Structure 1
Amino acid sequence: MPTWASWTIAALAIRIGLPFAWASTPLGTRGATHLLLNAYRREGLETAERQYLSRLAPRRAGLQLFNLALALDRAGDQDCAHAVYRRAAECGFPPAMANLAYGLSRRGEEDEAQDWYRRAVEAGYPRGVPEQADGE
């Protein structure tokens, strides 16, 4: 059930043209991921990033890309998820770095996987299992 705060943020986002401003609420995170997933499937990653993520700070864009990658992963589209994890990792989002490293390791690309694990730890991500849930 949406709260008054999420509705207020959504109304402001529509009013000022920032469609992901409400992405910090649980409802907004699901909605933002759904919008991004539809745009990704319809137009591809570059267009989706340009249209929806270009106004966000890199870490926030990384979070949205990470959630998109998780959605693709859950849908069974590992190749696309891998590409989106890479893009989110390049935005500097540590959980995406860890998931990308895990995927690379499963593909047998150990050198690059170790590099991404190291970057994730340097960026403050704790050693351990890759992320499996939405958000930070």
Structure 2
Amino acid sequence: MLLFAVSAGVPVVLVLGAVTGWSHSVIGAPTWASWVIAALAIFIGLPLAWFSTPLGTRIATNLLLKAYRRDGLEYVERQYLSKLAPYRAGLQLFNLALALDHAGDQDGALVVYRHAADCGSPPAMVNLAYWLSRRGEEDEAREWLRRAVEAGYTRVVPGVGER
């Protein structure tokens, strides 16, 4: 929600600053520069605000899911996620893994959970540990749970790594 507020609020403030001449008088920016800054804020901020809403997140996940099914994980990572910070890419991969999991593709979800966990996503680490535990790979499951706790994950996950 904070991301939405900042991403939507900053462009509005900059446009108002350009329209009222505030940015020209207060920060000394020429009028044309005020408008360029405002336009860039709109071009970057509003899509970011949109994709931080629940509907925008679902649309982004569906886009990744279609690309994954059509072209594979390497394509998705190269085309869509390479521009993001690793942690943010991990969150997007986590959403993709959840979508695959809900669609019944557990093998694909496991691969994507592993990539998301490698990017540092604690929820992906926990889900990866869960699936590894279900497959009988308890040692690796416990290792991913340990990493998730080290990364700040605080929820208790019953049944994982307890065999």
Task: Please give the range of the TM-score, normalised by the shorter of the 2 chains.
Answer: 0.7 to 0.9
| 2:102 counterpart residue number | 74
* Per-residue CA distance 1:6-65 (angstroms, 9 max, x = gap): xx8xxx79956x9x7343211210011000000000000010111011111111111110
Question: Is 1:114 the counterpart of 2:142 in the alignment?
Answer: yes
- Structure scoring higher RCO (CA < 8 A, sep ≥ 6) equals 1
Q: Which has more radius of gyration?
A: 2
Paired AA for residue 108 in structure 2: C
| 1:133 counterpart residue number | none
Question: Is 1:87 the counterpart of 2:112 in the alignment?
Answer: no
Structure 1, unpaired ranges of 5+: 131-136
Question: Is 1:61 the counterpart of 2:89 in the alignment?
Answer: yes
Structure 2, unpaired ranges of 5+: 1-7, 12-39, 159-163
Q: Normalising by structure 2, report the TM-score.
A: 0.67
Paired AA for residue 29 in structure 1: T
| 1:100 counterpart residue number | 128
Q: Normalising by structure 1, report the TM-score.
A: 0.80
* Per-residue CA distance 1:55-76 (angstroms, 9 max, x = gap): 1111111111000000000000
Which runs of 4 or more aligned residues in structure 1 lie more than 2 Å from their structure 2 counterparts after TM superposition? 12-16, 20-23
Distance 1:13 1:50 in 2: 25
